Amino acid sequence: MSRFKAVIFDLDGVLTDTAHYHYLAWKRLAESLQLPFDQAYNEQLKGIDRMGSLELILAQGRRSYTAQEKLALAEQKNQHYQTLIADMTPADLLPGAVAALQRVRAAGLGIALASVSKNAATVLERLGITGHFDYVVDAAAIARGKPDPEIFLTAAQALGVAPADCLGVEDAVAGVAAIKAAGMTALGIGHPFVLTRADVVITSLADFNLAAY
């Protein structure tokens, strides 16, 4: 028996790895603006929404951009990203992802997705796992991105479950901070020395054990 009533999953880096596609799309945009961008800098964007990521990239240059110009740049990046993810299939699910979703459902718990990607619904469809979720919260449904807790609180409210009864699953520092700020238990996917605020850290969902948290 689990002490939780619901589990709220992040998408990128937890259920599938679209981080590389985001990296390629941001790198192409940065290079078009003659701004430096590499894998190391890309780590700073992990868990940050599209406009927040754009601001971090533009901060490396000296030019100022209008709000309209920023929106156009963000859309340019998104169009390239959508092209890259168009060929995603269930084969792009990370190890243990489907099994973890099945275990949560078998335990009778609610399941929600909390992703800052506005393409979350498309990615779920490509992966063939849309039906596993009771509710999906993406960037279009919230005013504040991670590390603000809004996205996780919105998911809990939609499921009709108190935050304290929720387990949040994240691979990003900003995401774990959002889970903790929401008053939930945080399960980190990655490395303990990076996800220092997580209550428990596992390497991947292949190690998911609901009864242990």
| Catalytically active residues, by annotation | 10, 12
Instruction: Give the amino acid at 36.
Output: P
**Ranges of H-type helices in 46-189:** 50-58, 67-85, 97-106, 120-127, 150-159, 173-181
The CA distance from 5 to 43, in Å, is 32
Inter-CA distances, 157 with 6, 151, 162, Å:
11, 10, 7
Residues linked to residue 201 through DSSP beta bridges, in sequence order: 188
The CA distance from 63 to 30, in Å, is 13
Contact 206, 179 (CB under 8 A): no
| 3-state class percentages of the chain: helix first, strand second, coil last, to nearest 5 | 50, 15, 40
